Amino acid sequence: MVSDVPDAKNMVEWSQIICLLGSRRFVSFAVRLNSVLDRILGDHKGLKPVTIFLPPSLELEVYPSPLLEKIVRFHIMPQRYTTRELESMPARTLLRTLLQDQCL
């Protein structure tokens, strides 16, 4: 599933994330994440703690491939946030995403 990832532990964690997303009715996002994961990990070496915001009803199959990768990167923060941390942030707080120069 994930190739050229030097850290086997990293590969297992991403595999689990993709499986969990698929089992929670986010199959479309899980499939797209899996399809671009090698490029994301290539661009962000050592990417481990992440927060993924999942759009509730985004049908990713209808978008062209280059846009799909941007959508996936836009929904991943390169930092882990707990629910409590997110709830305590002021309204309109911008969070850095994996999409260069874009915040959510």
| Cβ atoms of residues 95 and 75 within 8 Å | no
pLDDT digits (tens, 9 = 90+) for 37-64: 999 999 988 888 899 998 766 666 666 6
Task: Give Cα 30 distance to the centre of its chain.
Answer: 9
Q: Give the count of alpha carbons within 13 A of 37, CB side only.
A: 22
Which residues are within 8 A (CB) of 56 and not within 5 positions of it... i.e. 6 or more apart?
A: none
pLDDT tens-digit map of 28-42? 888 889 989 999 999
pTM: 0.78
